[in-house]
């Protein structure tokens, strides 16, 4: 029996779950972010944050994946623990995917693609022309979704590819 997942807006009540998932998914190689930064993302640009929610066998909901983003005025390199209260620009035309994550037990079911499609929809709705992100382990995933590598950087000893998707008005 296949699981059914639903996309929903993230809320401040999701903060603790995001912090735990950030540690689970990114902590093993040192890329987890400060809890205060995660909280700030939910507060600063809530329309850019989403949750893919599944149901356990007993019917209780769980977060299978989540997305956080912010908007920038210009294209530049992302950084870990960047505070969106300082970097987010409501009139920006570059969407930065700050986190796109699927819990290990839910991977391989197309959930990352659904979150990425949601991010692209957010970018379009917000008038963004580009989407940028950095990734340490998912470069091939983003390349399959039309992102191209535009650079590389190292932070905390972690090599990260900087990826870009140009939005062309509907048919990229």
Q: Rounded CA gap, 32 and 28, in Å?
A: 8
Identify the pLDDT of residue 43: 96
Q: 143's torsion region: left (phi>0), alpha (psi -120 to 50) or beta?
A: alpha
Write down the domain spans for the chain.
6-166
CA dihedral angle for residue 69, residue 72, residue 75, residue 77, rounded to 10 degrees = -60
- What the block records as the tokens of 59 is 């019917």
Identify the pLDDT of residue 172: 45
CB atoms within 10 A of CB 133: 23
CATH class for the region spanning 6-166: alpha beta
User: According to DSSP H, which parts of 14-146 are helical?
Assistant: 15-26, 35-44, 84-87, 111-125, 139-144
| 75, pLDDT greater than 90 | yes
Q: Which residues contact 62 (CB under 8 A, 6 or more apart)?
A: 53, 54, 55, 56
Mean pLDDT of the chain: 93
CA dihedral angle for residue 68, residue 34, residue 101, residue 10, rounded to 10 degrees = -40
End-to-end CA distance of the chain: 34
Q: Rounded CA gap, 52 and 63, in Å?
A: 6
Residue 169 binned pLDDT confidence (cut-offs 50, 70, 90) = low
- What the block records as the tokens of 142 is 């983003």
Residue 2 binned pLDDT confidence (cut-offs 50, 70, 90) = very low
With a pLDDT cut of 90, the percent of the chain lying above it is 89
Identify the pLDDT of residue 56: 86
Residue 33 binned pLDDT confidence (cut-offs 50, 70, 90) = very high
- Closest of 118, 122, 131 to residue 162, by C-alpha: 131
């Amino acid at each position: 029996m296949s699981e059914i997942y639903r996309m929903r807006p993230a809320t401040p009540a999701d903060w603790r779950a995001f912090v735990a998932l950030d540690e689970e998914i990114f902590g093993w190689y040192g890329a987890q972010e400060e809890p205060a930064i995660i909280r700030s993302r939910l507060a600063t640009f809530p329309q850019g944050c989403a949750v893919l929610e599944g149901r356990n066998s007993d019917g209780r909901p769980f977060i299978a994946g989540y997305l956080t983003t912010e908007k920038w005025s210009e294209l530049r390199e992302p950084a870990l623990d960047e505070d969106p209260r300082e970097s987010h620009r409501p009139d920006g035309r570059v969407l930065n995917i700050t986190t796109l994550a699927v819990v290990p037990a839910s991977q391989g079911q197309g959930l990352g693609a659904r979150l990425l499609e949601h991010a692209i929809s957010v970018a379009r709705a917000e008038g963004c022309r580009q989407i940028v992100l950095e990734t340490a382990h998912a470069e091939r995933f983003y390349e399959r979704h039309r992102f191209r590598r535009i650079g590389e950087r190292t932070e905390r000893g972690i090599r990260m590819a900087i990826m870009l998707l140009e939005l062309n008005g509907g048919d990229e």
